[in-house]
Structure 1
Amino acid sequence: MKKQFIPFMFVLALLISACSNETTSEEQNEAPQDTTETITYESENGPIEVPADPQRVVVLSSYAGNVMALNVNLVGVDPWAKMNPKFDDHLHDVEEVTDESLEKIIELDPDLIIGLSNINNVDKLNEIAPTVTYTYGAVDYLTQHLEIGKLLNKEDEAQAWIDDFKQRAQAAGEEIKAEIGEDATVSVIESFDKQFYVYGDNWGRGTEILYQEMGLNMPERVKEEALEPGFYALSLEVLPEFAGDYVILSSDGSDSSFQETDTFNNIPAVQNNNVFEVNLYEFYFNDPVTLDFQLDYFIDSFLEN
């Protein structure tokens, strides 16, 4: 029988080809694949692709509490959020950053950045991660939380909190009005950096709860000066004109000397022990974490006063 010989070079070519195919297959299996799912969020600046399940969020202004309330991981937040004692447990290991901390933000490797529309370096931030900004007051405070919920792909959770919060706040408002009287007025006054401010119904400090949800009355002078712009700066001399039957007094704690003056002590709310003092840094925002704290505080203060 005649033997058949396979040429050596042909065999070698087959071996090389097989090894090459095996290596290519292994490389394909080992190569990292970008499987991150995204959603399209309709921001005020147009549609933007963002992670469907963000894992490393940086908030540069205002919205840290909204993100925390939806149980999404934060890796960086603004200085005001870090100063809030009520956020301490949530933000203990979270870095403090600003819109100028570009190198620090890069190191944090965020997959989403959130801030107000007036932050700096938006173009550069967008190169780091999808960056979504909001204009403060463009929508009401509850709609704002719903928008954050949409952005984080947690719209249902955000809506559920909104529905529950409105029910709780409005029910508490009815109890408080029954306690203090339908005609009683409430002012939200702040002492900050040796200046006084009075607030309308949409500028944090509990104003949304008191006026929008509970339907409590705002003094006429406050309506005239603060309702439309949101806040109004005033002096100690005219403070009595803006003080309601009840006063929520927000302070940064830097100067309480005004509380020793006759002007302050002659205010009826002061004389009637109807001034409720709060920490500015705890009351500053209007996110769900802060709003729940504010609501509990108002229930305790008005109903146990």
Structure 2
Amino acid sequence: MSPVGEHATTVRRTPLRLLLAGLAALLVLAGCGGGGESSGGGASGETRTVESERGPVQVPAAPQRIAVLSGGLAGDLFTLEAPVVAADPRVLGVQNDASGFPPSWSAQAQQQGTARLASEGAGLSIEQVAAARPDLIIGGGQGFTAAQAANAYPQLQQIAPTVLLPAFTQWQDQLTRIADVVGRADRVPGLLQAYQDRAAQVRGALRVPPQPTVFLYQARDGKSYVITPTAALPRIATDLGFTADDVITKADNPPLFGTGDSFEVSQELLPRVADAPTAIFVPIGQTPLDQLRTNPVYARLPAVAANNAYEVPSSSFRPDYQGAMTTLDTFATLFR
């Protein structure tokens, strides 16, 4: 079970005949309304085939009304300047601003008039998705929203072409795949180059603390988790000259959580596994590092005792493109 409820799979289901009747009514209204937009086709009517977790899917060549069922995927769509008509705003460990969207893409969502598909603690609403009249639905990725989309896939297909993406470990792979699905692959090289340029700039100005480094978070239930060296955050740190500690060996090859980017460690074993001279914490469970310093278990860690423990935003754990860029800026500030 996820420490932050990632395996919750609530889906508000509607009998199929009622759903189809509702969809038919929505399509009639769409045809009578302004703009001439309809569900299931792009502005040009042309389609292309892309890969999905459920096999090849024909999607609009130039989608005009995209519904994205995972907040972890939505940010990349806004980065690509794709038209997002509706989005699930929930991102692991991130608190939304007054608009109800994550701060990193709140402005774009408001500018586009993007509708929120779910509120905190709510499940996937098929009715909400249908009401948005999307011509393309994108789901999958990491976390409980991926399970929700998978469970609702037959119903979602009745609304619009639906692409379920795999759980990416690295933000570069996610960005590239999303860009391919929405026909904006030409934008990816420039974005990747911008990241590389910024990483080189930050790396050249950093004071790298004692190495290696361990990456940690505490879940809402108080359990301790260690982030694996191959996860996105340690990879970004590696780009900046850090060395991720071999925590897998120290923990005797533990069972990995989720997509393999972290594992649970008992309070008894944590001092042994997280004994690196530098530690980076992610406040996914909403417990800041300053509070963890007063916890006797964390206070025993060498990095905490030596004041070589640092905090990065929750968006750094499983970052999208903007999350990766923000992480670079955070490192630039922490390690000048």
The question of a shared fold, defined as TM-score above 0.5 by the shorter chain, is answered with: yes
Instruction: Say if 1:249 and 1:278, in contact at 8 Å, map to a contact too.
Output: yes
Deviations 1:25-56 (A, max 9, x none): xxxxxxx7984232222334433221222222
> Aligned to 2:51, which of 17, 42, 59?
42
> Aligned to 1:155, which of 185, 193, 215?
185
Quick check: 1:109 aligned with 2:144? Answer: no
Match of 1:266 in 2: 300
Q: State the structure with more CA Rg.
A: 1
Give matches, 1:91-130, under 5 Å. Answer: 91-92=109-110, 93-97=113-117, 100-116=124-140, 118=147, 119=149, 120-130=151-161
Give the deviation of 1:186 after TM superposition: 1.5
Give matches, 1:245-264, under 5 Å. Answer: 245-252=277-284, 254-255=286-287, 258-264=292-298
Higher helix content, 1 or 2: 1
Structure-2 separation of matches of 1:299 and 1:74? 32
Code of the residue aligned with 1:277 in structure 2: it is E
Deviations 1:5-31 (A, max 9, x none): xxxxxxxxxxxxxxxxxxxxxxxxxxx
Structure-2 separation of matches of 1:253 and 1:44? 30
Total equivalences in the alignment: 265
Higher alpha-carbon deviation: 225-234 or 107-116: 225-234
> Aligned to 1:233, which of 240, 246, 264?
264
Match of 2:244 in 1: 218
Q: In angstroms, what is the RMSD of aligned CA positions? A: 2.9
Instruction: Say if 1:146 and 1:159, in contact at 8 Å, map to a contact too.
Output: no
Give the deviation of 1:127 after TM superposition: 1.3
Which one has more relative contact order, counting CA pairs under 8 Å at least 6 apart? 2
User: CA 1:80–1:269 in structure 2 vs 1: closer, same or farther (change >3 Å)?
Assistant: same
Give the deviation of 1:288 after TM superposition: 0.7
Q: Indicate the SS of the match to 1:247.
A: strand
Give the deviation of 1:199 after TM superposition: 0.6
Match of 2:74 in 1: 64
Q: Indicate the SS of the match to 2:81.
A: coil
Match of 1:297 in 2: 330
Quick check: 1:132 aligned with 2:159? Answer: no
Match of 2:107 in 1: 89
Give the deviation of 1:141 after TM superposition: 3.1
Structure-2 separation of matches of 1:174 and 1:114? 38
Code of the residue aligned with 2:280 in structure 1: it is I
Higher alpha-carbon deviation: 194-203 or 86-95: 86-95
Quick check: 1:74 aligned with 2:84? Answer: yes
Code of the residue aligned with 1:191 in structure 2: it is Q
The gaps in structure 2 that reach 5 residues or longer are 1-35, 97-101, 141-145
User: CA 1:195–1:96 in structure 2 vs 1: closer, same or farther (change >3 Å)?
Assistant: farther
Give the deviation of 1:72 after TM superposition: 0.9
Code of the residue aligned with 1:95 in structure 2: it is A
Give the deviation of 1:74 after TM superposition: 1.6
Give the deviation of 1:302 after TM superposition: 1.6
Deviations 1:245-297 (A, max 9, x none): 222211146446543133322333223332222342x3343211111111111
Give the deviation of 1:79 after TM superposition: 4.0
Higher alpha-carbon deviation: 244-253 or 192-201: 244-253
User: CA 1:197–1:64 in structure 2 vs 1: closer, same or farther (change >3 Å)?
Assistant: same
Code of the residue aligned with 1:146 in structure 2: it is T
> Aligned to 2:319, which of 262, 268, 286?
286
Give the deviation of 1:192 after TM superposition: 1.7
The TM-score with structure 2 as length reference comes to 0.69
Code of the residue aligned with 2:80 in structure 1: it is L
Code of the residue aligned with 1:43 in structure 2: it is S
